Amino acid sequence: MLQYLISKLEEHNYAYFTRTQSESTTIEDIFWGHPTFVKLFNNFLTFLVMDSTYKTNMYKMPMFEIVGVTSTDLTYFVGFGFVTHEKEENFVWVLQMMLKLLKLKINMPKVVVTDRNTNLMKAVAIVLPKSSAILCYFHVGKNVRARCITDCRYALGKKDGKEVKHSDVVKTIMRAWDVIVESPTQELYASALVEFQNVCNDFPKFITYVESTVLDVVFFLKKKLN
């Protein structure tokens, strides 16, 4: 089946690259891109989004996707990669193959968006050191909400002697979170961060998680000292 796939990629002029296991002819990773999308990539490479799909094929292998954005805000697929593992070396190889699609090596992506896969983040830093790496809004919000649900619970469902619904606590905190991530200026961001910390004051474990993984508390501290 893999030989058939490669024959079709060659038949339709796809760009493709393979990597075999050391001292073996068994293919470990494969990356390919449609010829039309390769042309788009060479013209619109400022902004890239990267993510993997899971358990969506019979081999249970992650399929790594790289998506670009045109000047008219339309998206296109730069390329796809089937990888045996989501290790740093696999991601590094895929990104290196992606760069082989570029005709002019002086042009590099300016912004790369990923989820919080640490191996992918490390690979981006290695292969695209001059690109600004940021986290996906959707994935960050999903992780924050999941931690909020597990970490933000009052003992016996009460606060100050009053019954408190867990769902209401989560809604209040997530509203404060939305204000932070949607802040249009640094000043409003700093103000929203203070409010968020006040709302989460009873949940130190949760606020520590958010501040250590997502929020720019260093900026906030500088503003506060000034």
**Is pLDDT of 225 > 60?**
no
The pLDDT score that the predictor gives to residue 115 is 85
Domains of the chain: 2-135 (3.30.420), 137-225 (no CATH)
The pLDDT score that the predictor gives to residue 56 is 67
If one compares 219 and 73, the residue with the highest pLDDT of the two is 73
The pLDDT score that the predictor gives to residue 220 is 41
Q: How far apart are the first and last CA of the chain?
A: 64
Give residue-wise pLDDT tens across range 159-195.
Answer: 666 777 888 999 999 999 999 988 899 889 889 989 9
What is the reported pTM? Answer: 0.75
Average pLDDT, the chain: 86
With CA atoms as reference, report the closest residue to 206 among 157, 170, 179: 170
